Every structure is written in structure tokens, then in C-alpha cells.
């Protein structure tokens, strides 16, 4: 028996990164099941390609970064692979798995295989691995991959599917947001209901709001994601949309609900914006971050060229994280300054929306 | 998890309801020649001298105060041996062979209540100084310096919270010697002319509350209140305790005395009682020996100067001798680990905790911010850690690492098992 010298504290909380990651995966399960049920093989293929390519990239990264110290003999390739395998931890499997599932869920079902491949590989390599793997990344890998496919292939990605679950051809070709751009008159209570249940076209995981909310509630109960980011993002977005609705339509509440429930806003708020690695570390900072995503995605939807802007908004806000966390003003205590900044941010966007539309 | 960590899994139930074992007559006692606050000393006696309980056998010299060393048993001085002090240093200890007769020194005498009621604060400070009463919660700050404050004191707060898990020595003290605490409070109230005294205990401990409340009825003239404060860690930190008990927010770096508040540990108050009533220094104390690495966790009433090795034997020794252990003096959150169990119970050692060693692998920080959410001072440990790694002194100073109380919550709550508290200490050293 030895007495070990260690620094205080000598006890640790029963929590781990692994548990947080597993929770996110569990929260994603309903969304994944729904997407497979609704979109069938198209969903499975996107999911599998995305998972396989991201895991492979992560393993190549582990292989390249873990080299046995040179001991005079040339190492065989197979030995190096074995060594890398021994160095890979559970985090090298779980984190790319989460990124891959989230990335697949924001892709349209039945996207051509090389769209998915390009998006997944560029997402994890440019978004995460070039920064040094887990914990070092600035950008959300899934959002980056999605934006790259959007920019590269753009209009080639068609949202079309026949739902095996509901047997109806759900607004073939056009997503709800695409439809909205054409005609504001389609918005009524039934559309809202359909949006909520998920009998609409759209990206694989983004259609069923019930499943997304169930995952979100699980994450909040398990404390594996920060509710501040989710709430501030959704609320600020809803507020801007309420004002835009007053300007554009007769029934602004329906318009607001439509905007909140359509597209990837809820999915982005619950699964992407809450990624702790790419969000600030303080409570007020996280609220600022959430408000920023909400406002930018509202602006992109209302005045931008793309019908959907959550992925862009998340990437843009990711770039602001070091600024929000800058030591000269970051604090973990709420003060009137924070409320002033949040109010100003929302007010500016509301003014843009009211006078710009 | 991304949340504020407040409660720590409480493992005090290992020992809190066990009766205390009296182990007050060890064969040898060992008295430290120097300690953490007093670097130098002189010894007045030589091997072979006969000493009694309370005899001054030396004088420790601190930076701004002197502290007499009292013998805690009657017997003959054997010599000096090297043992470990609670600070982790090897220092000289005077070894005294106990003759088991428990004869008291001439200086030890009982003061009558009438005599005591005439004592002023300065006279009490003098008595306490001569009896070398120090903060028994672990700070070992000389109590007489607290008595010399010029600020008017309104409230006297008694810290019986003992917020660290595993520890139960103060718990047993309050359960078994509530009378001494009450009389100690009486003397403090008299000295400071304070309005009232508040005993702070954890809300969940009904047993302590019942005992203290019942004993309080015996002293109807004393303005004593019992505040049942929160169960969280670090509730025992004085600023958190004052905030919970009185609602006063004290900025860090300001003495509570400036706000009219004086706080003592409950064990210190018992020391004050002994010093004023009997002119007796602290010779016995409550001590907890617990943890999952020891066979029978136990509370002890021990003679100051007892070797912990004897107590471990009394507890049945270690569990699983082949497994590595961590030997902690103090609480598991802030205590110091030792590589030898050759440690002596000094006045300020509240407990020894022996835990089975767990090896954690450190994972990369995922910025989950549970350290930021948990920090009781409101710092951002993860930012300070990154600033330390970048050697950015400006950022470390601006992020306020000096306010850090090293409570250990950031390391405790870290999902990646990063020793964040250790980075805080390093950052403090860097900007020194």
C-alpha cells in the first residue's frame, strides 16, 4: 500500500464528458427514428455516409497526431495503426458520432451521396480537426458542413419526398420556408399543426418538432445542455418575427409560430447552439450568444438570399465567442449592462425589420 | 454537467451518529516545535524534565505574535523527534512520556463566575493569548488578535456548519458539549458587548438543532439564536455564512469586523471557555478518522499530540492493504494529502480521511462551464486556466484570481477531470 500525493480536492463529481455526449446522442434518438420512419432509405443512407466519413476522419486524425516516439527502428504501418487505436478514447468515437448524426439530421433526405460526403468531411476536418480535435474547435462542425454543402451545391439539393408514414406527397420540392417566400397566404392554423407534428417536407431531423422538443427536455433535465442558449435564441427570434409579422401579415402570432416551427430553428437551438465547446462560458455570455443566433437567423430569413439561416447564424455567432469571453468584460454575474446590450441588440434588429422590409 | 454544483455527496453519515471514543491517554504525546504560522521557536526545557498539563515548555515565534507551547499531558520529556506536521512539512516534535496521572500545572486554576464577570475584553485577550487559543477550524489564526479588534461588534457568529463532506468532529462537539459552547458564547458576548450571538448550523441536521435549542433554554438571559443555513458547499466559508445568516454581503478582502461581525468556530469557543474558566490551554479535541479506506470510521476525543497511527490501529487499520490510498488531513475538498501516515493530531487538525486512490484520466476541456457556474466567488476558472497556460498575467489579474478561496469546487465539478483548482494556485503564484 502506498499513500499517494495528490492535490486537493480529493473527490470528484460523478460526471464526465462521456455522459454529456451520451445524453446528446440519447436525445437525438427520437429525431433519428422519426426521420428514418418518414424518409425511409434516403435517411438511412445519409446517416450512414455521414457517420462513416466523420468517424474515419477522426481516426485518421488520431493516427496522425499519435505517433510512437522514434526508437531507432522503422515502425510498420500496421503497428502505427494499432498504436493509434490504443490511443483513441471513447471521446474520439462519441463526439464525431454526435456531429455526424446532427449533420445528417440537417441534410435533406435522399441527398446524393457525394453531397453528404463532402459536407461531412469538410465539416469535421475544417470545423474541428484542424483546430486540434475535441475542445479546440471554434465552429460547430455540423453547421459548417451544412453551410459548405449549401454553398457548393445550393439549388441542386431538392427537398422532395413521399412520406411512407403519412402516405402523402408532402409539398414536393418546396420546404415550408420556400413556400412562404412565394406566398404568405398558405399560413394558417393547419399549417402550424402540420409543422408541429412533422408531416411536412424539410431536412431529415428538422421536421418533427415533437421529437426535437422531447430531446430538448431530456437534455435540460439531465443538465447536459444549457437551457439559457436555447431559450434566449428562440425567444429573441420569436420577438423579431412578431414585429415582422405585424409589418407583413394580418395575423402576426400565426406568422411568428410558423417561423419558429419551420425550418431548422428548434433543432439548431436545441442541438447545435448548445454545443458547449463553441459557446461562451459565462451565464450572461451564453444568453448574449443565444440572442445573437436568434437575431441573425431572423435577419437571414427575412432579408437574406437563403430561405434558411440557422446554420449561418450559428457559425457567425461562433466567431463572436472569443469576443464575448474576452477577459476585460466577461463576468458571470448579471448586471444592468447585460440587459442594456441585449435590449439594444434586439431593438436594432427590430428597427431594421420594421423599416427595412 | 452544465449546472451550479452546490451540494456535495454527503458522506458524513459514515461517522456523524457514532458515539465518540475517548482516547485521551496515549503513552506519548508529540508537540510541534514550529507550525505553519510560527517559523521559529525556543524551548525552555530539556529531556528528563517533568512537566504537567498546561506547563509552558517553549515559545513559538510568528511574524507578529508569540505563541506559548503547552504540555498537554503530565510526564517527562523524552526528546525531539521528526514527524509530519499538518502543513505537510517534517518538523521537530517534542516527545513527552505520559505518566497517566493528569496533574495540572499551578497556572491552571478555576475562576469564579464573579471574577469572570469583571473581566474586560483586553484582559480576556491576554488570558487567551497566554493559553494560545487559535482558530480550531483549521485556520490556526491566533484568537486573541480577533479579541483586540477596535471595531464595535454587533453580532457574534458561531461556525458550526462544517460544510466539507466526511467531517463530523464539530458535529459531535455540538452534540456532546453544547453547554461549554453556550458558556463560551457568554464570555464572548460579555467581551465584545455584542447584541446577539448566532450559531450557524446546516439546515438538514435536526439533531444538532434540537440539542442546541434545548440547551439554549438553560440560559434564558443570553441572546443566542440558531440560524439553520443552507446545506451547500462552501457554506462554511465565512462570507457565505454571513450572507446566509445575516443577509450582509461582505466584499472579499474586507474583515467582517468592519461590519460589526465576529465569527468563531464552535471548537474555538470551547477553547475560549476552557481558557477563561480554567486558564487551561487546548489539550483535547474532537477528531474524525474516516473515509472508505479505513475499516471502522470513528470519532475521537483525543489528547492534542496523539499520533494518528495509534488511532488508525484503534479503527481496525486500513481496508484492502494492497490498494493505494490517499491520506488527507482536513476535509476532502481543501485538505492536504500526505505520503506518510506518521502525522500528529495538533490543535487544528479536525480530521484524517483515508480514501482509496482513484486514477482519473484528464480529458480535454469542452468548455461546459460547470466550473464557472459553480464558483462561489463568481470567477471564471476556465478562463483563468487558459490565461495561465498562455502566461497572460494581465488577464489573470483582471479575472480576479486573488479572490479565489481554493474551495476546490471547480476541480470537483469538472466534467473533464481537469485539476482546475491546481491551475488557480499556479496562476496565483504567477502573478505574485
Contact flag B387-A327 (C-beta cutoff 8 Å) = yes
**In A193-327, beta strands by DSSP E:** none
**Poorest-confidence range of A94-108, A289-303, B77-91?**
B77-91
Contact flag B413-A15 (C-beta cutoff 8 Å) = yes
CATH code, domain with B181: 3.40.50.11540
B356 contacts in chain A (CB < 8 Å): none
Q: Single out the residue of B39, B107, B109 nearest to residue B71, CA to CA.
A: B107
- H helices of B177-279, where? 178-192, 206-216, 238-246, 266-278
Nearest CA in chain A to B340: A3
> Is B376 within a domain?
yes
| Position A168 pLDDT exceeds 70 | no
> Is B392 within a domain?
yes
Q: Distance between CA atoms of A254 and B244, rounded to whole angstroms? A: 47
Q: How far is A318 from chain B (nearest CA, A)?
A: 13
Q: How far is B7 from chain A (nearest CA, A)?
A: 10
Share the mean pLDDT of chain A. 85
A19 contacts in chain B (CB < 8 Å): 1, 415
Tell me whether A325 touches chain B (CB under 8 Å): yes
**pLDDT tens digits, one per residue of B394-408:** 999 999 999 999 899
Q: Distance between CA atoms of A95 and A18, rounded to whole angstroms? A: 9
Q: What is the DSSP code string of B317-385?
A: -BSSTTS-EEEEES-TTT-EEES-S-BB--TT--EEEEEE-------------HHHHH-TT---HHHHH
Residues B55, B87 within the same domain: yes
Q: How far is B326 from chain A (nearest CA, A)?
A: 5
Contact flag B408-A8 (C-beta cutoff 8 Å) = yes
Residue B204, all three cell numbers: 438538514
**In B244-305, beta strands by DSSP E:** 261-265, 284-290, 298-303
Residues near A119 by beta carbon (within 8 Å), at least 6 away in sequence: A50, A103, A107, A145, A146, A148, A149
Q: Single out the residue of A125, A124, A119, A174 nearest to residue A147, CA to CA.
A: A119
DSSP-based three-state secondary structure for A174: coil
**pLDDT tens digits, one per residue of B146-203:** 888 888 999 999 998 888 888 888 889 999 999 999 999 999 999 999 988 999 999 8
Residue B67's φ and ψ, nearest 5 degrees, are -140, 115
Provide, rounded to the nearest whole percent, the portion of chain B with pLDDT above 70: 99
Contact flag A10-B353 (C-beta cutoff 8 Å) = yes
> Is B361 within a domain?
no
A1 contacts in chain B (CB < 8 Å): 318, 321-325
**pLDDT tens digits, one per residue of A38-91:** 888 888 999 999 999 999 999 999 998 888 887 778 888 888 888 888 888 888
Model pLDDT, residue A126:
93
| Position A282 pLDDT exceeds 80 | yes
Q: Distance between CA atoms of A92 and B230, rounded to whole angstroms? A: 40
Q: Where in chain A are the domains?
A: 16-172, 226-357
pTM: 0.89
Q: Single out the residue of A302, A164, A6 nearest to residue B422, CA to CA.
A: A6
B375 contacts in chain A (CB < 8 Å): 332
Q: Which domain holds residue B71?
A: 12-106+283-356
Contact flag A277-B416 (C-beta cutoff 8 Å) = no
Out of B278, B306, B338, pick the residue that ends a domain. B278
Q: How many domains does chain B have?
A: 3
Q: How far is B233 from chain A (nearest CA, A)?
A: 13
Contact flag A89-B353 (C-beta cutoff 8 Å) = no
Nearest CA in chain A to B166: A11
DSSP-based three-state secondary structure for A29: helix
Query: Counting runs of H as helices and runs of E as strands, what totals does chain B give?
Result: 14, 17
Tell me whether A276 touches chain B (CB under 8 Å): yes
Residues B316, B397 within the same domain: no
Amino acid at each position: 500500500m502506498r499513500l499517494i500525493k495528490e492535490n486537493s480536492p480529493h473527490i470528484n463529481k460523478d460526471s464526465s464528458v462521456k455522459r454529456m455526449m451520451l445524453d446528446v446522442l440519447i436525445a437525438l434518438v427520437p429525431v433519428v427514428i422519426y426521420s428514418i420512419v418518414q424518409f425511409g432509405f434516403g435517411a438511412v443512407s445519409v446517416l450512414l455516409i455521414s457517420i462513416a466519413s466523420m468517424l474515419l476522419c477522426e481516426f485518421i486524425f488520431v493516427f496522425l497526431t499519435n505517433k510512437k516516439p522514434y526508437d531507432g527502428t522503422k515502425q510498420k504501418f500496421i503497428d502505427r495503426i494499432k498504436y493509434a487505436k490504443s490511443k483513441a478514447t471513447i471521446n474520439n468515437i462519441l463526439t464525431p458520432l454526435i456531429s455526424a448524426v446532427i449533420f445528417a439530421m440537417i441534410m435533406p433526405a435522399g441527398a446524393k451521396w457525394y453531397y453528404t460526403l463532402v459536407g461531412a468531411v469538410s465539416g469535421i476536418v475544417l470545423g474541428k480537426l484542424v483546430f486540434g480535435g475535441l475542445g479546440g474547435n471554434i465552429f460547430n462542425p455540423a453547421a459548417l458542413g451544412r453551410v459548405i454543402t449549401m454553398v457548393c451545391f445550393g439549388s441542386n439539393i431538392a427537398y422532395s419526398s413521399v412520406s411512407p408514414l403519412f402516405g402523402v406527397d408532402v409539398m414536393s420540392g418546396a420546404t415550408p420556408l420556400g413556400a412562404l417566400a412565394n406566398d404568405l397566404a398558405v399560413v394558417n392554423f393547419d399549417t402550424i399543426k402540420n409543422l408541429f407534428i412533422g408531416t411536412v417536407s424539410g431536412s431529415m431531423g428538422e421536421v418533427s418538432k415533437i421529437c426535437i422538443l422531447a430531446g430538448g427536455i431530456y437534455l435540460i433535465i439531465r443538465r447536459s445542455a444549457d437551457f439559457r442558449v436555447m431559450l434566449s435564441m428562440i425567444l429573441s427570434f420569436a420577438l423579431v418575427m412578431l414585429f415582422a409579422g405585424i409589418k407583413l401579415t394580418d395575423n402576426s402570432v400565426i406568422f411568428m409560430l410558423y417561423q419558429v416551427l419551420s425550418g431548422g430553428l428548434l433543432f439548431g437551438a436545441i442541438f447545435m447552439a448548445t454545443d458547449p465547446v463553441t459557446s461562451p462560458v459565462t451565464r450572461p455570455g451564453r444568453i448574449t450568444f443565444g440572442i445573437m443566433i436568434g437575431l441573425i437567423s431572423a435577419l437571414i430569413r427575412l432579408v437574406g438570399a437563403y430561405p434558411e439561416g440557422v446554420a449561418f447564424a450559428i457559425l457567425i455567432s461562433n466567431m463572436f465567442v472569443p469576443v464575448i469571453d474576452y477577459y476585460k468584460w466577461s463576468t458571470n454575474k448579471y448586471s444592468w449592462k447585460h440587459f442594456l446590450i441585449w435590449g439594444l441588440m434586439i431593438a436594432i434588429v427590430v428597427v431594421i425589420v420594421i423599416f427595412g422590409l | 454537467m452544465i449546472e451550479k454544483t452546490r451540494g456535495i455527496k454527503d458522506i458524513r453519515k459514515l461517522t456523524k451518529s457514532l458515539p465518540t471514543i475517548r482516547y485521551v491517554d496515549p503513552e506519548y504525546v508529540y508537540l510541534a516545535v514550529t507550525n505553519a504560522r510560527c517559523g521559529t521557536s525556543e524551548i525552555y526545557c530539556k529531556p528528563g524534565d517533568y512537566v504537567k498539563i498546561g506547563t509552558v515548555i517553549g515559545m513559538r515565534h510568528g511574524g507578529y505574535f508569540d505563541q506559548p507551547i503547552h504540555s498537554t499531558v503530565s510526564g517527562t520529556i523524552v526528546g525531539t523527534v521528526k514527524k509530519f506536521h499538518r502543513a505537510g512539512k517534517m518538523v521537530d516534535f517534542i516527545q513527552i512520556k505520559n505518566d497517566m496521572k493528569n496533574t495540572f500545572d499551578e497556572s491552571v486554576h478555576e475562576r469564579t463566575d464573579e471574577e469572570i464577570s469583571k473581566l474586560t475584553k483586553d484582559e480576556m485577550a491576554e488570558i487567551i493569548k497566554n493559553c494560545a487559543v487559535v482558530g480550531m477550524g483549521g485556520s490556526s489564526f491566533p484568537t486573541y488578535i480577533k479579541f483586540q479588534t477596535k471595531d464595535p461588534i454587533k453580532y457574534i457568529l458561531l461556525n458550526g456548519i462544517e460544510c466539507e463532506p466526511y467531517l463530523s468532529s464539530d458535529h459531535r462537539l455540538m452534540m456532546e458539549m453544547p453547554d461549554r459552547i453556550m458558556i463560551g458564547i457568554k464570555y464572548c458576548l460579555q467581551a465584545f458587548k455584542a447584541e446577539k450571538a448566532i450559531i450557524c448550523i446546516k439546515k438538514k441536521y435536526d439533531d444538532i438543532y434540537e440539542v442546541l435549542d434545548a440547551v439554549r433554554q438553560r440560559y434564558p438571559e443570553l441572546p443566542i439564536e440558531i440560524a439553520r443555513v443552507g446545506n451547500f458547499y462552501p457554506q462554511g466559508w465565512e462570507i457565505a455564512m454571513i450572507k446566509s445568516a445575516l443577509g450582509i454581503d461582505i466584499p472579499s478582502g474586507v474583515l467582517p469586523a468592519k461590519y460589526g461581525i465576529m465569527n468563531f468556530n464552535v471548537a474555538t469557543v470551547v477553547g475560549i471557555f476552557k481558557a477563561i474558566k480554567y486558564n487551561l490551554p487546548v489539550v483535547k479535541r474532537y477528531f474524525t478518522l474516516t473515509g472508505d479506506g479505513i475499516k471502522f470510521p470513528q470519532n475521537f476525543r483525543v489528547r492534542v499530540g496523539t499520533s494518528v497511527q495509534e488511532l488508525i490501529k484503534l479503527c481496525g487499520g486500513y481496508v484492502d492493504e494492497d490498494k493505494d490510498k490517499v491520506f488527507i488531513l482536513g476535509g476532502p475538498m481543501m485538505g492536504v494529502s500526505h505520503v506518510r501516515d506518521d502525522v500528529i493530531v495538533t490543535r487544528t487538525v479536525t480530521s484524517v480521511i483515508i480514501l482509496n486512490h482513484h486514477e482519473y484520466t484528464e480529458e480535454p476541456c469542452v468548455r461546459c462551464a460547470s466550473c464557472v457556474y459553480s464558483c462561489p466567488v463568481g470567477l471564471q476558472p476556465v478562463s483563468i486556466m487558459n490565461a495561465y497556460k498562455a502566461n497572460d498575467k494581465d488577464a489573470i489579474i483582471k479575472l480576479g484570481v486573488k479572490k479565489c478561496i481554493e474551495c476546490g469546487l471547480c476541480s470537483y465539478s469538472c466534467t473533464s477531470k481537469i485539476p482546475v483548482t491546481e491551475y488557480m494556485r499556479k496562476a496565483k503564484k504567477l502573478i505574485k
